[in-house]
Chains A and B, each alone.
Chain A
Amino acid sequence: MSITYLEAIREAQAKALADDPRVYIYGQDVGEFGGAFKATKNLSKEFPGRVLDAPISEDAIVGSAIGAAIEGMRPIVEMQFADFSSVGFNQIVNHAATLYWRTEVPCPITVRLPSGGNLGSGPFHSQCMEALYAHYPGLIVMTPATVEDAYSMLLEAVAIDDPVVFCEHKYLYYHLKADALPTDALPAGKARIARPGRDATIVTYSAMLHEALAAAEELALDAYQIEVVDLRTVKPIDTDTILASVARTGRLLAVGEAFPWGGVTAEVIARVVTEGFELLDAPPQRLNARDTPIPYHPNLWAAHRPTAPAIVNALRNLLRM
């Protein structure tokens, strides 16, 4: 058996629907059509009345999920593209995120954000929104990088009593395969050492994990051992695992596909500098997408986002410091 990242997301939703009558799915085209990416394929047939097409209204979709959660449901809502969650941003950050703190009533909603760049997707279908949501207290932000995590973390997102912004990566939908779905998994909030090393640490998440692993592989040809930390969840962020890795290697490169300004990579570096400055043998570095909207043409897109060769360059610079 072989299962893709996208199929894992579908299977997790099928299991959540089967296991818990409080779960339903609401979003644009998620019903009979099965979703723009087919993440809900056949679910409306398997679970009649529980996988519903919504009007093109991200604000109302999230708002309705909040109300349903108050009444005891566990809605999963799909934003179709992460970019469009900006239209539902207010309900996510001001309503869902503050509900428990204000009223002691939890808000167990899962907001699925098909995130990140894909060939030819351009400025409005490619963005990574995780840092924006992580900025707000009251939200959990998951960024699974593997098929196994896509499955186990989505199930966990539905089970958690707080709002979860689930940033699944579109590039990984079809590019990533695993032999089987996991039966146990690391919990949310724990980072994983995806590759052990001793010469430098890359802290990354989501699709950039695979670029980072490829870069580490290339540097291994020169006998450098690069440790790669997969954050898995960007909020909460597993500072302990990051610091322990930097303690082993003395060097840090934070890599993210999102725009650079005030992003997850900035947060990682800030934490290491303030809590582990003495662990560093060199100034910590970061690599992000360029600070422009995301271009359409493949020539531009390939240079816009961090890739394995760019990470290799950044690592070589870091190792020379």
Chain B
Amino acid sequence: MATRPQSVISPAQSDDSGDDQADNQRDLFLATYRWMLLARLSEDRLSALWKAGKIVGGVYLGRGQEALSAALGVNLRKGSDIFAPLIRDQAGRLAFGEPLIESMQTYLGSRLGPMRGRDGNIHRGRPREGYYAMISHLGCMVSAIAGGLMAKRFQGDSDFVGATCIGDGGMSTGSFHEAMNMAAVEKLPLIVLAANNQYAYSTPSSRQFACADLVDRAIGYGFAGHSVDGTSLTDCLATIGKAVAAARAGGGPQLIVGTILRLAGHAEHDDASYVDPIIRHKPFAVDCLRAAEEMILAKGWLAQSDLATLRNAVMNEIDDAVSTAQKEPVPDAGTEDWCALSSRHLVDGHLA
């Protein structure tokens, strides 16, 4: 995988420039904001491509979840940490180091992308590089990451964490419960970031769980628990940063529950008409991206014109990725090898 592109942001002069810690916080905020912006605008493009009939299958957007997701991605270390993003983690994928082109290649079915046309949309990953490829069955990636961490422990590695994401719906699965319990028993440096986005597809939280707050479950599992306002990038960076550091330092598993509202349907084919109008106006319906921009302006970190320049640069990057992916070859049934095993001689019907 390519190294992370450098941020195009050159932080403007600010009142905090004399204070190293404040500088670092500002730089991290701006860098993370850029991943959020890249995620949002690239997903807007995916939505447009889907509406134009250029993408088959579902398009699942992380709109509203970018702050949580990106804040996790920037806290992970490519090369030593392992990460299993889930449906709405475009921002976290990018922040962890996925080149933008790979989402476009996957959605557009390029043969050169990581999934080679064999699997689509959010299922992509490069497991050998610590970036696991999710399956649709929610909860399954929690134990997979836990096993990856067990392997690293067996191999005598140190200084690593593993992270995965889930939603309030996925937290109802048996797979999730089994894996959380197992990770706690094994005392693994596992971070589980849960986005309570109020709806699991169309089912509201009231039909999904009956506990007062999902973070309370951490106690039962034997996890440390953290609550975070998922609309506030500042809060996300601080809380997730603290949780990742705790796991890295040997503090065991960490559950972080962020509250947001999914600012889109479950997928682009879903108009989210079931969302309660009252919920639409609750504090968690704040758009984290807009809130981050307002903070950047209020703090004087960037001017309005800087944000516009940045947005243009990001759009150009997206144009390049889409254009490249659209020109790439698509899979061909005639040259496909139709082998599900790496042990070719054991593929049924292909015995030597």
A residues neighboring B (CB under 8 Å): 24, 50, 54-55, 57-73, 75, 87, 90-91, 94-95, 97-103, 105-106, 137-138, 140, 160-162, 188-189, 235-240
CB distance from A235 to the nearest CB of B (A): 6
Give the contacts of B77-125 with A (CB-CB under 8 A): 82, 114-115, 118-119, 123, 125
Establish whether residues B127 and A63, one from each chain, have CB atoms under 8 Å apart when the complex forms: no
Give the contacts of B119-159 with A (CB-CB under 8 A): 119, 123, 125-128, 132-133, 135-137, 140-152, 154-155
CB distance from A86 to the nearest CB of B (A): 12
What DSSP secondary structure best describes chain A's contact surface? Answer: helix
**Which of B36-44, B204-212, B265-273, B338-346 lies on the face that meets chain A?**
B338-346
A-B contact pairs, 8 of them (CB 8 A): A57-B143, A60-B175, A60-B181, A63-B142, A94-B135, A100-B342, A189-B346, A236-B348
**Does B56 interact with chain A (Cβ within 8 Å)?**
no
Q: Report the Cα distance A106→B350, complex, angstroms.
A: 19
- Nearest-CB residue, chain B, relative to A141: B348
What residues of chain B lie closer than 8 Å to A55, measured between beta carbons?
A: 178, 181-182, 185
Establish whether residues B140 and A67, one from each chain, have CB atoms under 8 Å apart when the complex forms: no
- Nearest-CB residue, chain B, relative to A267: B348
Q: Report the Cα distance A162→B114, complex, angstroms.
A: 20
CB distance from A264 to the nearest CB of B (A): 12
Since A60-B181, A70-B151 are in contact, a sample of 16 more A-B pairs with Cβ atoms closer than 8 Å, ordered by chain A residue number, is: A50-B154, A57-B178, A59-B175, A60-B179, A64-B150, A70-B144, A71-B151, A71-B155, A73-B151, A90-B137, A91-B143, A99-B133, A105-B127, A106-B342, A238-B351, A239-B349
Establish whether residues A63 and B143, one from each chain, have CB atoms under 8 Å apart when the complex forms: yes
Establish whether residues A63 and B348, one from each chain, have CB atoms under 8 Å apart when the complex forms: no
What is the number of residues of chain B that contact chain A, defined by CB distance less than 8 Å?
A: 49
**Does B174 interact with chain A (Cβ within 8 Å)?**
yes
**Does B347 interact with chain A (Cβ within 8 Å)?**
yes
CB distance from B88 to the nearest CB of A (A): 20
- Nearest-CB residue, chain A, relative to B129: A105
What residues of chain A lie closer than 8 Å to B342, measured between beta carbons?
A: 100, 106, 161-162
Q: Knowing A63-B175, A67-B143, A67-B144 touch, does A95 contact B137 (C-beta < 8 A)?
A: yes
- Nearest-CB residue, chain A, relative to B139: A59
B residues neighboring A (CB under 8 Å): 82, 114-115, 118-119, 123, 125-128, 132-133, 135-137, 140-152, 154-155, 174-175, 178-179, 181-182, 185, 339-343, 345-351
- Nearest-CB residue, chain A, relative to B175: A59
Establish whether residues B346 and A103, one from each chain, have CB atoms under 8 Å apart when the complex forms: no
- Nearest-CB residue, chain A, relative to B133: A103
Q: Report the Cα distance A71→B185, complex, angstroms.
A: 20
Establish whether residues B126 and A103, one from each chain, have CB atoms under 8 Å apart when the complex forms: yes
CB distance from B148 to the nearest CB of A (A): 4
Q: Knowing A138-B340, A161-B343, A189-B346 touch, does A64 contact B144 (C-beta < 8 A)?
A: yes
Establish whether residues A140 and B123, one from each chain, have CB atoms under 8 Å apart when the complex forms: no
Establish whether residues A71 and B152, one from each chain, have CB atoms under 8 Å apart when the complex forms: yes
What residues of chain B lie closer than 8 Å to A60, measured between beta carbons?
A: 142-143, 146, 175, 178-179, 181-182
Establish whether residues A103 and B125, one from each chain, have CB atoms under 8 Å apart when the complex forms: yes
> Considering residues B119, B125, B149, B154, which has the most beta carbons from chain A within 10 angstroms of its beta carbon?
B154
What residues of chain B lie closer than 8 Å to A238, measured between beta carbons?
A: 351
CB distance from A123 to the nearest CB of B (A): 21
Establish whether residues B155 and A72, one from each chain, have CB atoms under 8 Å apart when the complex forms: yes
> Considering residues A50, A58, A59, A189, which has the most beta carbons from chain B within 10 angstroms of its beta carbon?
A59
What residues of chain B lie closer than 8 Å to A103, measured between beta carbons?
A: 114-115, 125-128, 133
Establish whether residues B341 and A138, one from each chain, have CB atoms under 8 Å apart when the complex forms: yes
Q: Knowing A189-B345, A236-B347 touch, does A63 contact B144 (C-beta < 8 A)?
A: yes
Establish whether residues A63 and B133, one from each chain, have CB atoms under 8 Å apart when the complex forms: no
Establish whether residues A63 and B346, one from each chain, have CB atoms under 8 Å apart when the complex forms: no
- Nearest-CB residue, chain B, relative to A75: B147
CB distance from B142 to the nearest CB of A (A): 7
What residues of chain B lie closer than 8 Å to A59, measured between beta carbons?
A: 140, 143, 174-175, 178-179
Establish whether residues B178 and A71, one from each chain, have CB atoms under 8 Å apart when the complex forms: no
Name A102's contact: one of B133, B149, B182, B341 (CB within 8 Å).
B133
What residues of chain B lie closer than 8 Å to A73, measured between beta carbons?
A: 150-151, 154-155
What residues of chain A lie closer than 8 Å to B350, measured between beta carbons?
A: 236
Establish whether residues A140 and B133, one from each chain, have CB atoms under 8 Å apart when the complex forms: no
CB distance from B80 to the nearest CB of A (A): 12
Q: Report the Cα distance A238→B179, complex, angstroms.
A: 38
Establish whether residues B181 and A68, one from each chain, have CB atoms under 8 Å apart when the complex forms: no
Q: Report the Cα distance A65→B141, complex, angstroms.
A: 12
Establish whether residues B148 and A71, one from each chain, have CB atoms under 8 Å apart when the complex forms: yes
Q: Knowing A67-B145, A67-B151, A68-B151 touch, does A100 contact B351 (C-beta < 8 A)?
A: no
- Nearest-CB residue, chain B, relative to A53: B185
What residues of chain B lie closer than 8 Å to A50, measured between beta carbons?
A: 154
What residues of chain B lie closer than 8 Å to A62, measured between beta carbons?
A: 143
CB distance from A72 to the nearest CB of B (A): 6
Q: Knowing A66-B144, A161-B343 touch, does A99 contact B127 (C-beta < 8 A)?
A: yes
Shortest 4 CB-CB distances between A and B: which pairs? Answer: A63-B143, A67-B147, A64-B147, A71-B151
- Nearest-CB residue, chain B, relative to A235: B348
- Nearest-CB residue, chain A, relative to B126: A103
Q: Report the Cα distance A138→B344, complex, angstroms.
A: 11
- Nearest-CB residue, chain B, relative to A108: B342
Establish whether residues B343 and A162, one from each chain, have CB atoms under 8 Å apart when the complex forms: yes
Name A105's contact: one of B128, B143, B155, B185 (CB within 8 Å).
B128
What residues of chain A lie closer than 8 Å to B140, measured between beta carbons?
A: 59, 63, 90-91, 94-95
Establish whether residues B178 and A189, one from each chain, have CB atoms under 8 Å apart when the complex forms: no
- Nearest-CB residue, chain B, relative to A66: B144
CB distance from A249 to the nearest CB of B (A): 21
